Amino acid sequence: MPPRRKAREVAIGPVVIGGNNPIAVQSMTATDTADVEATVEQITALAEAGCELIRVTVDTRKAAAALPEIRRRCPIPLIADIHFNHRLALEAAPYVDKIRINPGNIGSEDNIRAVIARANEFGLPIRVGVNNGSLERDIALKYGAHLKDNILMPPEEGYPAEALVDSALRNIEILEAHGFTRTIISVKSSNVPLMVRAYRLLAAACDYPLHLGVTEAGTLENSNIKSSIGIGALLLDGIGDTLRVSIAARRTEEKVEEIKTGFKILQALGLRRYGVEVVACPTCGREDVGFDTTRIAREIEALTARMSRPVKVSVMGCYVNGPGEAAEADLGVVASGKTARIYRRGELIESMVPFDRVTQRMKELIETFYDPPA
Ligand code: SF4
């Protein structure tokens, strides 16, 4: 992989992004922020799954009024997502660790100055969240949009990446003109190639930390695919300091998938480790009779789903590639005739393990992997 892009560091409460800091995984609640109980419950579940930064919409005075209590019970840095009404940003600032806003859509120069002053008062960073669905009118028109009944219609072929980047750079300029540089930027789109190109252009044009995401990516399966490709392509370029996988879901169990997928993307690229990672062969006609690779891999995944310590486990259906693959894992089990062998970092530690004992034995070994030797 190429070296990571050098982004300036920006602190979001105790979490610092940019520089060489871990690429942070974040999410956004799908609750009514004014409903404190539901919002805190969802935040808690996301934090337990590993979420490191959480954003809530602050779209009404009631939502803003709920922030002090949410702040009190929120275990991770809290971000207020605000559009159009700069007064909500002023109200939210004392109770959050970051504001997401687009200077371009909160009105007059005075409004912008007031939000920046408030962010400075509390040491908050601001994320400029550009989205191709909400470009400034003049930029949209410059890049091919037209007006129909005074409504902005995007060009048939969609906006080019340059439109998103122009908008991001304009917002950066607005903030810099007021001496503000605790800025984080995103240029999200639901179009994966467009989003990748926009981030690449932006990464070359500034040194602010970048928040990666494919927006409106759809429901679980589509989002996982689009996010893995879009976010993954950028991470492979060394671009990205924090990310969010967006899944169309309201229920907490589904929201948690955003965190799991985010970490799995980072894990697949060797950038972060997240709980137990099970590597399993795809099985074929050579799989030893009586050894069910798929079932064992699934059972280990289910039994270790709540373990946070990183252990890489491999499950291999026969001896052909088994020992080689096991050598790359922390723990590997390989079918070998009528019984299985278990390896620890490539070293054979157990043999003649009955197939029906494999899952339980692997669970025990995973649970005690970091215990000091007896
Ligand atoms: S490890 Fe063995 S069973 Fe699994 S895919 Fe390879 S050859 Fe087939």
pLDDT tens column, 302-335 = 999 888 789 999 999 998 887 888 888 999 999 9
Phi and psi at residue 301, to the nearest 5°: -60, -45
Tokens of 258: 């955003």
Which residue, by CA, sits nearest to atom 5 of ligand 1? 283
**Atom number, ligand 1, closest to the C-alpha of residue 321:** 1
Query: Does residue 318 have its Cβ closer than 6 Å to ligand 1?
Result: yes
What is the model's pLDDT at position 320? 84
217 sits in the region (left: phi over 0; alpha: psi -120 to 50; else beta) called: alpha
Instruction: State mean pLDDT over 227-247.
Output: 97
pLDDT tens digit sequence for 61-71:
999 999 999 99
pLDDT tens, residue by residue, 350-365: 999 999 999 999 999 9
For residue 108, the model assigns a pLDDT of 81
Bridge partners of residue 16, in order along the sequence: 11
Nearest CA among 11, 25, 55, 347 for reference residue 184: 11
CA of 263 to the centre of ligand 1 (A): 27
Look up residue 280 and give its two tokens. 């399993």
Residue 27's H or E segment, with its range, is strand 24-28
**Taking a C-beta distance cutoff of 8 angstroms, is the pair 78, 71 a contact?**
yes
pLDDT of the residue at 325: 80
pLDDT of residue 163: 95
Residue 349 has pLDDT above 90, yes or no: yes
Of the two residues 154 and 333, the one the predictor is more confident about is 333
- Domains present along the chain, CATH in parentheses: 10-268 (3.20.20.20), 276-367 (3.30.413.10)
Measure the CA–CA gap between 29 and 96, rounded to whole angstroms.
14
Q: What is the pLDDT confidence band of residue 142, given thresholds at 50, 70 and 90?
A: very high
Ligand 1 within 6 A of CB of 124: no
Q: What is the pLDDT of residues 169-203, one digit of tens each?
A: 999 998 999 999 999 999 999 999 999 999 999 99
| Contact (CB, 8 A) for 244 and 216 | no
If you average pLDDT over residues 137-153, what whole number do you get? 90
pLDDT band at 46 (very low <50, low <70, confident <90, very high): very high
Phi, psi of 4 (to 5 degrees): -70, 140
The answer, yes or no, to whether any atom of ligand 1 lies below 6 A from the CB of 321, is: yes
